[in-house]
Amino acid sequence: MGARIELSRPNICILSVLGLIVGLKFTNIPLNLWILPILSVFALCASGNVINDYFDRSIDQVNKPRRPIPSGKITPSECFWLYGALTSIGLLAAYFVSQNFFLLSVFNAVLVYLYSIKFKKNAFGNLLDTYLAVSVFIAPVFIFGGLLDLLASTVIYLVPIPFFVNYGREILKAVEDVRGDRKAKARTLPIIIGKQRAVLFGKFMIFLGAIFLFLPYAFGVFGDAYFIFALVVFVVSLFALGLDNVTKLQKITKVLMFLVIAVFLVY
């Protein structure tokens, strides 16, 4: 059971659920309708983490040999069955939410599989992964609405922040994984343009995300208290971007994202 939980990466799934709750809050979805969307997002996020490890098992033997599959804690076939079970739970829960929410969930589930089997090994992978991470913020709009409702929703002013920050962080993580990715003949961004340029590009994306911290304030979504918080986070971000240690930078970025989402939740 420990290996299955580790494969699912519940900490990442909790972050996805928090992003969903932000969207639920800003789209004014009644509290009694939150349970199924939360279950769907958590299960689909977990299934994505599982299938990602399934297809990454050869790379993880180099980059992360202590992960459940390369360490022998769980077999590849058991991993695939777990993926199927979690995906089924996530899609079944989405089906009982609404038609548009279900269609978005199916679309994302297909993208997760394609990302894991193909796109993760090229430069497009980080962008696709970022969309999947950010889609939880906009998913609640599709409970009662569609694309036009998304454009009219205040949640649209929040999305650029996690999008650019997560994209930059994913690039930095790809820099850390270059050794194993090269062995797997992947064509990630750091392999194509070089590690140094990839780090600079990743930092620039995070910087853009920090700039967009002020967007919700500029459009009147949040008040002066948020502006002060955004300013503090922006300054800390500038300090972090000056670090040469990629691992420290992406960990600090992750903590800052938790704080930003927490503020979205309580404001």
Q: b/e for 181-212, b at 16 or more Cβ within 10 A?
A: beebebebbbbeeeeeebbebbbebbbbbbeb
* Each residue's pLDDT expressed in tens, for the chain with a length of 267 residues: 677 787 788 888 998 999 999 999 999 999 999 999 999 999 999 999 889 888 877 766 766 777 777 777 788 888 889 999 999 999 999 999 999 999 999 999 999 999 888 887 788 888 999 999 999 999 999 999 988 898 889 999 999 999 999 999 999 988 888 877 787 777 889 999 999 999 999 999 999 999 999 999 999 999 999 999 999 999 999 999 999 898 899 889 988 988 999 999 987
Q: Which CATH number fits domain 158-267: 1.20.120, 1.10.10, 3.40.1350, 1.10.3470?
A: 1.20.120
Question: Cβ(43)–Cβ(90) under 8 Å?
Answer: yes
Q: Which CATH number fits domain 1-145: 1.10.357.140, 1.10.150.120, 1.10.40.30, 1.10.1740.10?
A: 1.10.357.140
Could you tell me the pTM of the whole model?
0.89
| Phi, then psi, of 122 in degrees rounded to 5 | -135, 175
Q: Where exactly are the structural domains of the chain? A: 1-145, 158-267
